[in-house]
Amino acid sequence: MTAVQADCLTAALQIGYHLLDRGASALTAVEQTIGVLEQSGLFNAGRGSHVQLDGVRRMDASIMEGQELLAGAVASIEGIVHPISAARLVMEQTSHVLLVGKPASAFARHFQLERQPRRPSGHAVRKTTMTRALAPKTLQLYRAMTSGGLVLRERAGKETVGAVALDRTGTVAAGASTGGIDLMLPGRVGDTPIIGCGVYADNVSGAVSMTGLGEGIIRIAVAKDICDRLERGMSPAMAARAVLRKLVTRIDGAAGTLVIAPDGRFAIHHVTPRMAAGWWDGKGRPVVKDRF
């Protein structure tokens, strides 16, 4: 985590907490906190999202609240800065949970969400040939599917962004936003927009937001599994460790999680070398680091 990323996380935590302190909902705090990170271009979300192998930036996001179990999500959305806001609009303005692809992009344009260029600005985008070192199965498949070259962007150490919150009414919320992973086949969707995998929130159990390799998170349904364990009486730390251990031992997965319980107990846990994250209860300075 760079110093500028740490500063951005600190600012996002302060914005989210001050919203809660003024009586805003957990849902609004989660959306606005994630929005700061999407806007920054410093993380793999919003302006900083990875591009897929055809050079197009397609993003995923979801948000959920724990009182009514309402949720909204978008997948493979293009051309906007704040997919998390599009996800909330799906939740509040439609009877659906998930919109995908070009219709999701048109939906976001209808509500006049902030636009961004189709291609990343300010990042090096380069054409390359396949190498044995770079996900050869995916690259070979993509090359077989198309007659053109492929477009890659140098990896910049960026992560999916997410947040969990608890408000004064006792309602929890969770959200996540991502640009996916390096070397994605066009149309690839990970765990982030899938309720129960990338996020889950229930006032009975708690709220969870995930980051990591989405394919593994989907196969274990990690967010719901953690919440189920919270409901059975596990602490956030115990539930997070147990499910991430299962992810590693069963399918050699890699992930990190944010977990908050209805009584305010929380955990930040990961089975990756690092995970930039932080928390704040309004006292002192926010805690931000990349190992927990």
Q: For 163-212, what is each residue's pLDDT tens digit?
A: 999 999 999 999 999 998 777 788 889 999 999 999 999 999 999 999 99
φ/ψ of 134, rounded to 5, equals -110, 95
**How many helices (H) and strands (E) would you count in the chain?**
8, 13
Residue 32: CB atoms within 10 A of its CB come to 21
The residue type of 203 is N
Predicted confidence band of residue 137 (pLDDT cuts 50, 70, 90): low
Identify the pLDDT of residue 133: 39
Nearest to 208 by CA among 178, 253, 240: 240
pLDDT score of 31: 98
DSSP state of 52: -
The answer to whether 87 and 207 are in contact (CB under 8 A) is no
Q: Give the pLDDT confidence of 36-50 residue by residue, as tens digits.
A: 999 999 999 999 998
pLDDT over threshold 80, residue 151: no
pTM of the model: 0.88
Q: Mind listing the pLDDT tens digit for each residue in 226-284? A: 999 999 999 999 999 999 999 999 999 999 999 999 999 999 999 999 999 999 989 99
Q: What is the predicted pLDDT for the residue at 159?
A: 74
Tell me if 138 sits within 8 A of 183, measured CB to CB: yes
pLDDT above 80: residue 147:
no
Residue 184: predicted pLDDT: 75
Kind and range of the H or E run holding 77: strand 71-77
In angstroms, rounded to a whole number, what is the distance separating the alpha carbons of residues 58 and 77? 5
110 has a pLDDT exceeding 50 = yes
Note the pLDDT tens digit of each residue in 78-102: 999 999 999 999 999 999 999 999 9
> Are the CB atoms for 29 and 163 separated by under 8 Å?
yes
Q: How confident is the model at residue 51 (pLDDT cuts 50, 70, 90)?
A: confident
Separation CA 98–CA 258 (nearest Å): 22
* Confidence band, pLDDT 50/70/90 cuts, at residue 131: very low
Token pair listed for 287: 């805690």
Instruction: Give the mean pLDDT of the chain.
Output: 88
> What's the pLDDT at 187?
85
Tokens 């985590």 belong to 1
Task: Quote the pLDDT of residue 140.
Answer: 54
Annotated catalytic residues are 160
CA-closest candidate to residue 53, choices 187, 155, 189: 187
Are the C-beta atoms of residues 269 and 292 closer than 8 Å to each other?
A: yes
pLDDT at 138: 53
At 154 the pLDDT is: 31
- By CB atoms closer than 10 A (0-12, 13-18, 19+), residue 147 is exposed
Pinpoint the alpha helices (H) of the chain.
Answer: 3-21, 26-40, 83-93, 101-110, 136-145, 214-220, 222-231, 236-251
Q: What is the pLDDT of residues 7-17, one digit of tens each?
A: 999 999 999 99
